[in-house]
Amino acid sequence: MKKRIFALMTAVVLVLALGSTLAFSVENRVIDEAGIFTQEEIAQLESLAEKYSAACGLELMIVTKESTGSMSADWYAGEEFRKAGVTDGALMLLDMEDRYAWLSGTGRGAQLLPDETMELLLDLIYGKLKRDDFAGAAEAFLKEAQVEARRASGELMFPRMSLVAWLVCLGIPLIAAGGFCIWVVRDYQFRDVQYEYPCRQLGRVELSQSQDIFLGKTVTSRTIQRSSSSRSGGSRSSGGRSGAGRHF
Protein backbone atom coordinates (compact mmCIF):
# COMPACT_ATOMS: atom_id res chain seq x y z
CA MET A 1 0.00 0.00 0.00
CA LYS A 2 2.78 2.39 0.92
CA LYS A 3 4.53 1.58 -2.36
CA ARG A 4 1.40 2.47 -4.32
CA ILE A 5 0.99 5.76 -2.48
CA PHE A 6 4.65 6.61 -3.03
CA ALA A 7 4.38 5.76 -6.74
CA LEU A 8 1.25 7.91 -7.06
CA MET A 9 2.88 10.86 -5.34
CA THR A 10 5.96 10.50 -7.54
CA ALA A 11 3.78 10.51 -10.65
CA VAL A 12 1.95 13.64 -9.50
CA VAL A 13 5.23 15.44 -8.79
CA LEU A 14 6.60 14.50 -12.22
CA VAL A 15 3.46 15.69 -13.98
CA LEU A 16 3.54 19.00 -12.12
CA ALA A 17 7.24 19.44 -12.85
CA LEU A 18 6.71 18.66 -16.52
CA GLY A 19 3.78 21.07 -16.69
CA SER A 20 5.82 23.81 -15.03
CA THR A 21 8.66 23.26 -17.50
CA LEU A 22 6.33 23.45 -20.50
CA ALA A 23 4.58 26.53 -19.14
CA PHE A 24 7.90 28.24 -18.54
CA SER A 25 9.13 27.51 -22.06
CA VAL A 26 5.89 28.80 -23.61
CA GLU A 27 5.87 31.90 -21.42
CA ASN A 28 9.27 32.87 -22.86
CA ARG A 29 7.72 34.09 -26.08
CA VAL A 30 10.44 36.68 -26.81
CA ILE A 31 13.82 35.05 -27.57
CA ASP A 32 16.29 37.83 -28.34
CA GLU A 33 19.51 35.99 -29.20
CA ALA A 34 20.65 38.89 -31.41
CA GLY A 35 20.33 41.39 -28.55
CA ILE A 36 18.37 44.00 -30.50
CA PHE A 37 15.81 44.73 -27.75
CA THR A 38 16.28 46.55 -24.47
CA GLN A 39 15.11 44.95 -21.24
CA GLU A 40 12.13 47.31 -21.17
CA GLU A 41 11.19 46.37 -24.73
CA ILE A 42 11.47 42.65 -23.93
CA ALA A 43 9.20 43.06 -20.91
CA GLN A 44 6.69 45.01 -22.99
CA LEU A 45 6.74 42.46 -25.82
CA GLU A 46 6.39 39.55 -23.38
CA SER A 47 3.31 41.20 -21.89
CA LEU A 48 1.78 41.85 -25.30
CA ALA A 49 2.60 38.33 -26.54
CA GLU A 50 0.87 36.81 -23.51
CA LYS A 51 -2.14 39.10 -23.93
CA TYR A 52 -2.59 38.54 -27.67
CA SER A 53 -1.89 34.81 -27.41
CA ALA A 54 -4.73 34.45 -24.94
CA ALA A 55 -6.99 36.56 -27.17
CA CYS A 56 -6.56 34.46 -30.33
CA GLY A 57 -5.83 31.02 -28.87
CA LEU A 58 -2.39 30.77 -30.54
CA GLU A 59 1.09 30.94 -29.07
CA LEU A 60 2.66 34.09 -30.57
CA MET A 61 6.46 34.38 -30.41
CA ILE A 62 9.27 36.75 -31.39
CA VAL A 63 12.70 35.27 -32.18
CA THR A 64 15.88 37.11 -33.21
CA LYS A 65 19.15 35.53 -34.29
CA GLU A 66 22.52 36.95 -35.22
CA SER A 67 22.66 34.51 -38.12
CA THR A 68 20.84 31.42 -39.34
CA GLY A 69 24.02 30.19 -41.05
CA SER A 70 23.44 27.68 -43.80
CA MET A 71 20.03 26.66 -42.45
CA SER A 72 16.83 28.19 -43.78
CA ALA A 73 14.69 30.53 -41.73
CA ASP A 74 11.80 28.09 -42.06
CA TRP A 75 13.91 25.34 -40.48
CA TYR A 76 14.82 27.59 -37.54
CA ALA A 77 11.16 28.53 -37.10
CA GLY A 78 10.28 24.84 -36.86
CA GLU A 79 13.03 24.31 -34.30
CA GLU A 80 11.76 27.19 -32.15
CA PHE A 81 8.25 25.76 -32.22
CA ARG A 82 9.63 22.35 -31.26
CA LYS A 83 11.80 23.62 -28.41
CA ALA A 84 8.95 25.67 -26.96
CA GLY A 85 6.53 22.77 -27.28
CA VAL A 86 4.21 24.85 -29.46
CA THR A 87 1.85 22.94 -31.72
CA ASP A 88 -0.51 25.82 -32.59
CA GLY A 89 1.17 29.17 -32.96
CA ALA A 90 2.94 31.80 -35.06
CA LEU A 91 6.25 33.61 -34.79
CA MET A 92 8.35 36.34 -36.31
CA LEU A 93 12.00 35.40 -36.89
CA LEU A 94 14.60 38.10 -37.60
CA ASP A 95 17.95 37.08 -39.08
CA MET A 96 20.10 40.16 -38.43
CA GLU A 97 23.10 39.09 -40.50
CA ASP A 98 21.08 38.78 -43.71
CA ARG A 99 18.48 41.33 -42.54
CA TYR A 100 15.76 38.84 -43.31
CA ALA A 101 12.33 38.59 -41.69
CA TRP A 102 10.43 35.30 -41.70
CA LEU A 103 6.87 34.89 -40.44
CA SER A 104 5.72 31.34 -39.79
CA GLY A 105 2.66 29.56 -38.46
CA THR A 106 2.29 25.97 -37.30
CA GLY A 107 -0.72 23.74 -36.69
CA ARG A 108 -3.84 25.84 -36.22
CA GLY A 109 -1.64 28.90 -36.68
CA ALA A 110 -0.95 27.79 -40.27
CA GLN A 111 -4.67 27.34 -40.87
CA LEU A 112 -5.70 30.74 -39.51
CA LEU A 113 -2.62 32.55 -40.88
CA PRO A 114 -1.85 31.02 -44.30
CA ASP A 115 0.86 32.24 -46.67
CA GLU A 116 -1.31 35.04 -48.08
CA THR A 117 -2.02 36.42 -44.61
CA MET A 118 1.66 36.22 -43.68
CA GLU A 119 2.47 38.30 -46.77
CA LEU A 120 -0.09 40.87 -45.61
CA LEU A 121 1.49 40.97 -42.15
CA LEU A 122 4.89 41.49 -43.75
CA ASP A 123 3.52 44.48 -45.64
CA LEU A 124 2.23 45.95 -42.39
CA ILE A 125 5.54 45.67 -40.51
CA TYR A 126 7.97 46.19 -43.39
CA GLY A 127 8.26 49.97 -42.96
CA LYS A 128 9.26 49.59 -39.31
CA LEU A 129 11.85 46.95 -40.20
CA LYS A 130 13.40 49.24 -42.82
CA ARG A 131 13.69 52.00 -40.20
CA ASP A 132 15.27 49.53 -37.74
CA ASP A 133 12.30 49.92 -35.42
CA PHE A 134 12.45 46.25 -34.49
CA ALA A 135 10.45 46.60 -31.28
CA GLY A 136 7.72 48.42 -33.18
CA ALA A 137 7.72 45.75 -35.88
CA ALA A 138 7.46 42.98 -33.27
CA GLU A 139 4.62 44.76 -31.50
CA ALA A 140 2.78 45.29 -34.79
CA PHE A 141 3.22 41.62 -35.71
CA LEU A 142 1.78 40.43 -32.40
CA LYS A 143 -1.19 42.77 -32.64
CA GLU A 144 -2.04 42.19 -36.29
CA ALA A 145 -1.45 38.44 -36.12
CA GLN A 146 -4.02 38.02 -33.36
CA VAL A 147 -6.48 40.26 -35.23
CA GLU A 148 -6.15 38.23 -38.43
CA ALA A 149 -6.38 34.95 -36.52
CA ARG A 150 -9.57 36.05 -34.77
CA ARG A 151 -11.01 37.28 -38.05
CA ALA A 152 -10.20 33.97 -39.77
CA SER A 153 -11.86 32.04 -36.93
CA GLY A 154 -15.02 34.13 -37.29
CA GLU A 155 -14.67 35.95 -33.98
CA LEU A 156 -14.19 39.32 -35.69
CA MET A 157 -16.60 40.05 -38.53
CA PHE A 158 -15.40 43.57 -39.29
CA PRO A 159 -11.99 45.24 -39.13
CA ARG A 160 -11.20 47.18 -35.99
CA MET A 161 -11.53 50.93 -36.50
CA SER A 162 -11.78 53.92 -34.23
CA LEU A 163 -15.03 55.84 -33.74
CA VAL A 164 -13.75 58.66 -35.95
CA ALA A 165 -12.93 56.18 -38.72
CA TRP A 166 -16.41 54.65 -38.52
CA LEU A 167 -18.01 58.11 -38.65
CA VAL A 168 -15.94 59.02 -41.69
CA CYS A 169 -16.70 55.72 -43.48
CA LEU A 170 -20.44 55.87 -42.78
CA GLY A 171 -21.05 59.62 -42.62
CA ILE A 172 -19.55 60.64 -45.96
CA PRO A 173 -21.62 58.18 -48.06
CA LEU A 174 -24.81 59.07 -46.17
CA ILE A 175 -24.25 62.80 -46.61
CA ALA A 176 -23.42 62.34 -50.29
CA ALA A 177 -26.50 60.17 -50.91
CA GLY A 178 -28.77 62.57 -49.05
CA GLY A 179 -27.42 65.55 -50.93
CA PHE A 180 -27.94 63.80 -54.27
CA CYS A 181 -31.55 62.94 -53.41
CA ILE A 182 -32.28 66.53 -52.37
CA TRP A 183 -30.72 67.84 -55.59
CA VAL A 184 -32.80 65.49 -57.75
CA VAL A 185 -36.06 66.40 -56.01
CA ARG A 186 -35.42 70.13 -56.14
CA ASP A 187 -34.17 70.13 -59.73
CA TYR A 188 -36.84 68.00 -61.35
CA GLN A 189 -39.82 68.75 -59.07
CA PHE A 190 -41.67 65.51 -59.87
CA ARG A 191 -45.28 66.09 -60.93
CA ASP A 192 -48.14 63.70 -61.63
CA VAL A 193 -48.34 64.33 -65.38
CA GLN A 194 -49.81 61.78 -67.82
CA TYR A 195 -48.62 61.84 -71.40
CA GLU A 196 -50.39 60.07 -74.28
CA TYR A 197 -48.53 59.42 -77.50
CA PRO A 198 -50.62 60.18 -80.66
CA CYS A 199 -50.36 56.73 -82.22
CA ARG A 200 -53.00 57.25 -84.94
CA GLN A 201 -51.43 60.48 -86.18
CA LEU A 202 -47.74 59.66 -85.87
CA GLY A 203 -47.65 55.85 -85.93
CA ARG A 204 -46.77 53.89 -89.08
CA VAL A 205 -46.49 50.14 -89.72
CA GLU A 206 -44.69 48.58 -92.71
CA LEU A 207 -44.66 44.83 -93.41
CA SER A 208 -42.16 43.14 -95.70
CA GLN A 209 -41.77 39.52 -96.86
CA SER A 210 -38.52 37.63 -96.33
CA GLN A 211 -37.48 34.14 -97.43
CA ASP A 212 -34.75 31.91 -95.93
CA ILE A 213 -32.84 29.64 -98.31
CA PHE A 214 -30.96 26.62 -96.88
CA LEU A 215 -27.66 26.34 -98.77
CA GLY A 216 -25.83 23.52 -96.99
CA LYS A 217 -24.28 22.26 -93.77
CA THR A 218 -20.71 21.24 -92.93
CA VAL A 219 -19.83 19.43 -89.69
CA THR A 220 -16.22 19.11 -88.52
CA SER A 221 -15.41 16.79 -85.61
CA ARG A 222 -12.12 16.40 -83.78
CA THR A 223 -11.11 14.09 -80.95
CA ILE A 224 -9.03 15.71 -78.17
CA GLN A 225 -6.85 13.33 -76.23
CA ARG A 226 -7.25 13.66 -72.48
CA SER A 227 -3.96 14.23 -70.71
CA SER A 228 -3.13 11.61 -68.11
CA SER A 229 -0.98 13.94 -66.01
CA SER A 230 -2.16 16.87 -63.94
CA ARG A 231 -0.26 19.94 -62.82
CA SER A 232 -0.56 21.39 -59.33
CA GLY A 233 1.03 24.47 -57.85
CA GLY A 234 3.34 24.39 -54.85
CA SER A 235 2.55 25.87 -51.48
CA ARG A 236 4.67 26.82 -48.54
CA SER A 237 1.91 25.62 -46.25
CA SER A 238 2.93 21.99 -46.69
CA GLY A 239 4.02 20.06 -43.63
CA GLY A 240 1.50 21.82 -41.36
CA ARG A 241 3.26 25.20 -41.50
CA SER A 242 2.75 28.46 -43.34
CA GLY A 243 5.31 31.15 -43.97
CA ALA A 244 6.47 34.25 -45.80
CA GLY A 245 9.79 36.07 -45.79
CA ARG A 246 11.45 39.21 -47.07
CA HIS A 247 14.77 41.06 -46.84
CA PHE A 248 14.66 44.41 -45.11
Rounded distance between C-alpha atoms, residue 35 and residue 244, angstroms: 23
End-to-end CA distance of the chain: 65
> pTM above 0.85?
no
pLDDT of amino acid 65: 97
Q: Is the pLDDT of residue 125 over 80?
A: yes
* Mean pLDDT across 157-170: 56
pLDDT of amino acid 225: 60
Evaluate whether 86 touches 59 at the Cβ level (below 8 Å): yes
Name the residue ranges covered by the structural domains of the chain: 29-160+239-247
CATH fold label, 29-160+239-247 = Diaminopimelate Epimerase; Chain A, domain 1 (3.10.310)
Rounded distance between C-alpha atoms, residue 170 and residue 193, angstroms: 37
Bigger pLDDT: 240 or 131? Answer: 131
